[in-house]
Structure 1
């Protein structure tokens, strides 16, 4: 007796469903493992948006844990007026920032920083939409985007600001429907970004061939929110 064709279709469908569930479980486990919770609330004076999560940050469960990044030094000295808080006290810096109405998040919440990082156009648009929805929901007074260091962030930022030309550091001519948030683009707090040339003149005045550094730009941001 021949076995009905529908029998095989049902078996293959069940196997396919089981395989998809397994893939989704692996992906969600990987995503959760690499994720740092947003430091965000209503009434923020400043929301700082980074690119991706550093591998050391994932390991220690705290933002900007890598010593090659000057973020902790800059934020503690110029924004909080305290000694640098080291990453071996997870949550301490984040709690202090929130008390001072400063929040933290990243574009790519499910990816860790590295040279091999790849983001498809579809993913980029999804990340941008997620960030914009957070901003509309929480309505921070100012959003400062940390960095235009790697190619990933350059592409994301051009899409985020709908920019056709070159992006300059400082206040951006960009409005997000649904909130009155003011947007700033700041140089990366990475040690690689010591020389900064493309700065708007109404933010920091530079001579034609001179440059500034990332600390000077972030110090200016600290003055703006005070």
Structure 2
């Protein structure tokens, strides 16, 4: 038997909002490490993450490796793809991945720019308008999900509204989007990294820009690599 612990990140959902600057992935990882080891008393555990969770779990592995039996991720943190121009000896496959990521950044990553530079300006509008908040979040679900053009073939209305409602009732759109700003201004953003913690990946073909294994191995001790059928 095992226990699954699924925490809200600081500033998300029903967790407390940060009251000071600096809550980038490294700081988030420190908070989760304290939760697991000091608050809950676990000496060893496995951590899983996807999207922002991948970046945070990577920082957990880099700075709190002694407590980790292993980590499991659904993607390579996007910061590595952005800095890939500085990587030597990229293979044809690696270069194709980086090129695809650049195209995605140009076409779809406008939200990263505004959330990473002027998060509070955006947040005031979203926090004041349920329709605005709904539009901002559901557009991402539509753009990033595996569906045939109808998002309700993948998610029910209840699932989509529940996700948005959590932001609305907790008033956390401001504190959540600020993670982008804190990360863009973090000294760990562009730092070269490689963790020795055993790492497993589950890669989904319809993800935004799935990384090839050889690219992941530059940063992680990949012990298991599973490419999902859908």
TM-score computed with the length of structure 2 as normaliser: 0.27
Whose helix fraction is larger, Structure 1's or Structure 2's?
A: 2
By relative contact order (CA 8 Å, sep 6+), the higher-ranking structure is: 2
Rg larger in 1 or in 2? 1
TM-score computed with the length of structure 1 as normaliser: 0.27
